[in-house]
Amino acid sequence: MTDNGSPAIVPPMDRSPFRQMRERHKVQRIARGLLATSFVLLGLYTVRGFLPSLIWGAIFAIAAWPPYVAVRDRWKIRPGNVLLPLLFTTAIALIFLIPMALFALEAGREAQGVLSWADIARHTGVPVPGWLRRLPAGASAITNWWQQHLQDPDDVSELLHSFNIGRSVRMTQQVGTQVFHRGLLFIFTILTLFFLLKDGDTITRQCLVVSRRAFGKRGETIAEQIVASIHGTVAGLVLVGLGEGALMGVAYLIAGAQHPFLFGVFTAVAAMIPFCAVVAVTLVALALLVKGTVIAALVIFCLGMAVIFIADHFVRPALIGGSTQMPFLWVLVSILGGVESWSLLGLFIGPAIMSVLHLIWRNWTRDRIQDPTRTEREEMDDLPDRSPV
């Protein structure tokens, strides 16, 4: 107070050096965070064309890691050895390359057969097939159309010349470009898989350190949930799809379908997406129906529908939901929504995202009254890890 009773104006005190240093460190942390985020975004933008290969490589590495570690421990191979990762990588690559090579060879043979058939049809026409008259409905109308447009050689020549050759050439070039691009991405996927298997222990340790420093122990829990979802998806989609393809391939062979091995592989690939195996089974049933074996076609169709129903409604939800504790609806929505949003990568990305959301939902909706000490433990888990490890 001054002499006349008015309050005295106290000049602002200088901030302590400790407070200034703490604020300066806070500003520096924010600046380092922004700088690191900027470089992470720049790095993702730089490798954006190869991100699918990196993600696929990581998925394959996570799926192959348990058997890889089991073989490594059994053979007493020290981490970082090159031979064992090379063997695993080669085996996984052959799983994809062998069916693709068989498909390519069969496609080449079929293309040659189609060209020969077109050349013969241009000179002699296409006679009405015998199975067409045995159709249960619409046989007469289809037969009349066939006789008017395909039985005469001149009509067949006119029909073949009506195709746009230039467009077919451009389409062939586009297909060749896509095949080259996909092949390049596959090579980078295999390279990513090899280095992830070779340096898996170091990468895992580094990821755990980063996760604990950034998110605490909760980050490790989320990472474990993602890994569990990938393992469950591999078992529920890939292995079950291969089982469906093998079972239906044997059925195709017994029923006398053409190219049972290739149709079995096609069924296995389609079965990895829920309900898509219906397309493969229907095509084989139609091929048998065209061939004239009606009973075999009905048996294949009914057997295929039964196998698909059991696999999609019982086996897959048990495998995927059992590893991630997700209900059937979450599993189905995560797979179908993931495929729609992320293409084939969505088969694994979708369940991983939804499993993390389901984990967060379960943590938020858990009744804490039953365990009053849980809140304190979770708060301690959220604290950043200050240890150097």
* Residue among 274, 244, 266 at smallest CA distance from 347: 274
Average confidence (pLDDT) over 87-102: 88
Q: Between residues 255 and 9, which one has the greater pLDDT? A: 255
Which pLDDT band, with edges at 50, 70 and 90, does 299 fall under?
A: very high
Residue 360 or 300, more confident? 300
Q: Is the pLDDT of residue 300 over 90?
A: yes
Copy the structure tokens of residue 133: 């008259």
What confidence tens digit (pLDDT) does each residue in 267-291 have? 998 888 878 899 999 999 988 887 7
The pTM of this model reads 0.73
**Nearest-5° Cα angle at 221, 216 to 226:** 130
Q: What is the pLDDT of residue 384?
A: 42
Q: Residue 292: pLDDT above 70?
A: yes
Q: What is the 3-state secondary structure (H, E, C) of 307-358?
A: HHHHHHHHHHHHHHHHHHCCCHHHHHHHHHHHHHHHHHHHHHHHHHHHHHHH
What's the rounded Cα separation, in Å, for the pair 106 and 104?
5
Burial class (CB in 10 A: 0-12, 13-18, 19+), 277: buried
Length of the chain in terms of residues written: 389
Separation CA 272–CA 92 (nearest Å): 17
Inter-residue long-range contacts of 364-368, CB under 8 Å, 24+ positions, other chains counted? none
The pLDDT of 288-300, averaged and rounded, is: 85
Q: Model confidence over 105-128: pLDDT tens digits?
A: 777 776 676 667 676 767 777 776
Give me the pLDDT at residue 65, please.
Answer: 93
Name which residue leads in pLDDT, 28 or 6: 28
pLDDT at 379: 46
**Mean pLDDT taken over the chain:** 79
Question: How many whole angstroms separate alpha carbon 36 and alpha carbon 43?
Answer: 10
